[in-house]
Structure 1
Amino acid sequence: MKKAAVLVAGSWGTALASVLASNGYRVMLWTRKEEQAQDINDNRENSKFLPGVKLPELICATTDLKLALENTELALFVAPSGAMREVARQAAAFLSSDTLVVHATKGFEGDTLKRMTTVLSEELGRSVEDLVVLSGPSHAEEVVREQPTTVVVASANLQTAEKAQDALMNTHFRVYTNPDVVGVEVAGAIKNIIALGAGLTDGLQFGDNAKAALLTRGLAEIGRLGTAMGANPLTFAGLAGVGDLVVTCTSKHSRNWRAGYMLADGTPLDEVLSRMGMVVEGVRTTRAAYQLAKQYDVEMPITFQLYEVLFSNKAPRTAVEHLMGRLRTHEIEEIG
């Protein structure tokens, strides 16, 4: 039987483990916490992150990283962006050179501002061309229940992308390929910032007009930064771009949306994160994107205002007023 390893056992990792199990893989789901592994193995449920969902028998949780990775055909890294380097460093000793490596994390490394494929390449000693990124509109709560979902896998090597496509695709989880790794990673990361803003505008009761404007101009910011970093602009019109942006900004499944909604009433960021009990990638990504925008000399007004709200105690309504009061400009940015 084919074997896959998924690192780590959060909601998204567990949902992807379920996809692989439904495709006939024996899946080792790695977690640092013994009580979580025991819960999954004894009760067939990840009660902390996906309560009420029974997991396939082909999933086995473990805290033993060597056991998880030995003789595996596919290693799927779903660690939070802030933990990816540490997890990859620990995994490197047990990972075979023949194992297909995929990651499904949407964010940048905080200190270095590096994309996750770069982090994995450095720690695993592999070429970036040998790695795959999975992204797209995909709430874990729906994927694990086998509700129709469509995603994209990106790699500079088409054959490598197709291997990941074959491993993951089935009748409820459709997978497309894309050669634009940079674009897919940037879109997946920055859309979390816009989702924070969407939750915030909903919390302020600003209505549908404001939401539509935020998504549209947010997509413009994603495109500006992505193309400056070398991405193909067409990627942002696809699943990893507008697709993921829409689902993350319009659903209460989105932890970034929920965090933004709580921020709207003045709840301090530390309290919001404590109440969430899960990583909110958009918070970390806002700090990283703020720095990347300056590094690449890219205008990202939504990101900059959210940065002020998150880290400089700026009132959300004041941030919106500053966005609306900016100097006039063109929508099609090549004009003038």
Structure 2
Amino acid sequence: MLTLLGLLQQRQVWTGPELADRLGVTPRTVRRDVERLRSLGYPVHAGQGVGGGYRLGAGQDLPPLLLDDEEAIATVASLLAGAGGGVAGAGDAALRALTKLDRVLPTRLRHEVHALSGSVESFGGGRTPVDPQVLMTLARACRDEVEAGFDYPSGGEVRERRVEPYRLVASDRRWYLLAYDLDRDGWRNFRVDRMTGVSARTWRFRPRAAPDAATYVQENVASRVYPHQARFLVHASAARVRAQIPASAAVVRERGDELCEVLSGAERLDSVLMHVLLLGHDFEVLDPPELRRRCRVLAERLLSAGAAASPAPAAEDP
């Protein structure tokens, strides 16, 4: 029954056969467990015909979380503030919790939540602030498998984008949306703080085979968006190097107990070379070949700069 509740929180609508297949039970058992959830206070609605099925709706009271109205308002407002930026590491968990509470929050409390969350601000923290309501709109669209639309800057102008949203991904600096761009027929990641006019539509889509969201976004942010990419074999453990490099600056892959591969990008290859050099570990350039040649040129220049010069004459005693 708890597994059934979890499924109802993940998606807008489930048909009886879909739930029965997921749970490995008969449709009759699904109907029985739905009735048990209703008896516990969970508002599970059933619709007939095309597009019908079971859905978890907002009830008169929050079901067995045992929160009163003031506690519910404070919890959701705090989660909204946490999801929008500020607290390192808290945004992901806050957004996951919000998508669950959003399904069952009584309608009468929503305007109070919005009023309170609008009066909360934060300072510090490294993540670029975003509107929590935009995050919630995108999270619902991902959960409900419906198209989303928004305006996004590209090539010096703002263009309307129409996408199938897949996952929200938080880096150490920003929020990103991994989505299938319907007009460009391919996977893209978008910075949430650059979006305007965000809306979730009613057109549902069948999920496509998707890349791993976190890996795809990290590789794009750390290297593919730059004109130059470079790969290095660093003589140190992946854990040690990850502690030295922000996740948004490079992808670090384990290659052994004391070896790792670092993939990064930059406007100039000299810049990424200097960053790896300053990590303080031995390393080798894997790609591109011209960077290996550049290493030799810079090495000769550094040797020349460090060569012994004639000592300056000692100052005479007064």
TM-score, normalising length: structure 2? 0.27
The structure richer in strand per residue is: 2
Flag the structure with larger Rg.
2
**Larger relative contact order, structure 1 or 2 (CA cutoff 8 Å, min sep 6):** 1
